[in-house]
Chain A
Amino acid sequence: MDDIPALRGQEAFLLSPDKELAELLTGLWPVEHMRFTVFERGRRAIEHLFNDPPDLLVVDERLPDIGGPEVASLVKSENVYRQLPVVLVMDREGLDLPRDWEQVEVDDFLVRPLDPKETRARVNLTMLRAMRALDANPLSKLPGNTSILQRIQQCVDSGEDFALAYCDLDYFKSFNDKYGFSRGDEVLMMTARVIVNTIRTFGGVRSFVGHVGGDDFVFIMPPDLVEEACRRVVQSFDSIVPHFYDADDRARGSIVSVDRQGVTRTFPIMAVSIAVVFSTGKRRLSHAGEAASIAMGLKKKAKENPKSCYVLDQRER
């Protein structure tokens, strides 16, 4: 059976009076991958759903007390539950009814009779798609926090050697204050592109780029290539970023803006700071949080330098 790491330990609700359906679905995944809670009536499930939302909701149109699409709407109309993937189970005749799919806010549907293999594949896909859509940074579309943590944990668990780089921008806030958010977003899009393409120039290696949010980015590289990658990111960023300033500020090499204390100050052109943590040889990271805390310390060091720079974790490796 296909084992998808991202889909371990999932909780699912099935809202259906159909015992056969419940049996089929629960039999499709080992219980440590997907645990189903079955509700034979719809209304009673709503409160559970809102109190303790599962990772997947399967709703049967045969529910006696509430329509499947109505349950879906209840979930999807609230921003805090919107990300929950909803799959509607229909009878073949149900397909003949005219439907406004814009109103029926489900992520996928299944039609009786259910084919077990197809059902499992489609539900897996629906869940992965929902995760990607939820987790992607809305601006850069790069994988976000959940994927980043997952990827770091995978690297840790596999015991492979890797280097983890945390990037952020110096003086990004003052740039945003002076030029506005949309120009700030332009710089973030540029930065994302520089990092992604720089990492990709190292063909044939396992790598990963994620966008934590704002001006924070993460990338994972083999340890022997990471310093060269940092060097190239710094070089490309420094050569491109001046073009995001007005000509007079670029010529001056600085902008005048207001700092966090409300004092008018001069700020240099933005720079990129990179802190690199290794998991190699004797020094192996044990979890994602450890990497982040080591990186925070290094970051301080990198920030002492107003120019773009990278700092490598120098503890004994």
Chain B
Amino acid sequence: MVEQDLKTSVKGQILSIKDLPTLPKVLDEVSRLVQDPNANTDEIAKIISRDQVLSAKVLKMVNSPVYGFPGRIGTVQHALVLLGFNVVRGIIISTSVFEMMVKAMEGLWEHSLGCALAANVVAKHAGLADPEEFSVAGLLHDLGKVVGAVQLPELHEAVAAAVREQDLRWFEAERAVMGFGHDRVNAWLARHWNLPGNIREGMSHHHSPETAQLYPETAAVVHVADFIVRVYEFGTGGDDQAAPLSRKALEVLKLKLPDLDRVLDEFAVQLADVSDLDLA
């Protein structure tokens, strides 16, 4: 009962988020682009696609009922075409940057970008259509941690302490401290923001891909991508332990272990391209 009360009050706080900050580097770059009358949508989309917060903001906006097609748009490129330059500029100029926790957030940003890249590679190797949508699901898979850090700083700190002191994975620590994990927070956010179902399930089932009801492929892709990016230790999800890889996820994607080797190789190449991209 107590746990239920905590969940209800936490959910209320999570969904009431008004100001979701991002890291300064990407914001500066996008801000420059939206001031440039010659910048095109593709360039802006490419940069926004590296930033989980800016991506979440444009997708939330384009899927809001105001635009008349909630839950339909799952890529940043499409979101920018439909929102238009003025609206995107409005989002950019109203976004603030983290003043605290920058160091911790940098790790999470890298992890999220790495997961987006890995999800793209996994989706392509699994022969799935629209790999960009899988990238988005990968990019946003830990958004619940960011929103948690902003809206529930005390709980966030308690989880971090549990990770340090009890040698837990972040996901385990969340459940020990709060009774639920960031996957649940993701589910609340994705539903509240009318994000498309595939992205919602990728965000909310990446720790338990076998429970995804409608889009098992997306959940499986994000799960495998999360595993891969942890293997390469690119960025951090808040802890330094790799989660076990679900065999079921590989089955859903019809990937064998040798396929995974090829995925890892290709990912390593792509990672080299972005790792000199200084996010901070």
Spell out A's residues near B (CB within 8 Å): 139, 185-187, 189-190, 193-194, 196-198, 200-201, 203, 236, 239-240, 243-244, 251
CA distance A274 to B30 in the complex (A): 33
Inter-chain contact A239/B69, CB cutoff 8 Å: no
- Please name all residues of chain A whose beta carbon is closer than 8 Å to the beta carbon of B73 when the two chains form the complex: 240, 243
CA distance A42 to B73 in the complex (A): 56
- Please name all residues of chain B whose beta carbon is closer than 8 Å to the beta carbon of A197 when the two chains form the complex: 81-85
Inter-chain contact A190/B84, CB cutoff 8 Å: no
Spell out B's residues near A (CB within 8 Å): 37, 40-41, 67-69, 72-74, 78, 81-86, 129, 196
Q: Min CB distance, A242 to chain B, in Å? A: 9
A-B contact pairs, 26 of them (CB 8 A): A139-B68, A185-B68, A186-B68, A189-B69, A190-B68, A190-B69, A190-B72, A193-B67, A193-B81, A193-B82, A193-B83, A194-B81, A197-B84, A197-B85, A198-B81, A200-B85, A201-B85, A236-B81, A240-B73, A240-B82, A243-B72, A243-B74, A243-B78, A243-B196, A244-B72, A251-B129
A-B pair count, CB < 8 Å, reads 48
CA distance A251 to B40 in the complex (A): 30
Q: Min CB distance, A208 to chain B, in Å? A: 16
CA distance A64 to B84 in the complex (A): 55
Inter-chain contact B129/A186, CB cutoff 8 Å: no
The contact of A201 among B41, B72, B83, B196, by CB within 8 Å, is B41
CA distance A251 to B127 in the complex (A): 13
The contact of B72 among A185, A186, A194, by CB within 8 Å, is A186
7 extra A-B contacts, CB within 8 A, seeds A187-B69, A193-B82: A186-B72, A189-B68, A201-B40, A240-B73, A243-B73, A244-B72, A251-B129
Chain B residue at minimum C-beta to C-beta distance from A196 = B84
- Please name all residues of chain A whose beta carbon is closer than 8 Å to the beta carbon of B68 when the two chains form the complex: 139, 185-186, 189-190
- Please name all residues of chain B whose beta carbon is closer than 8 Å to the beta carbon of A200 when the two chains form the complex: 84-86
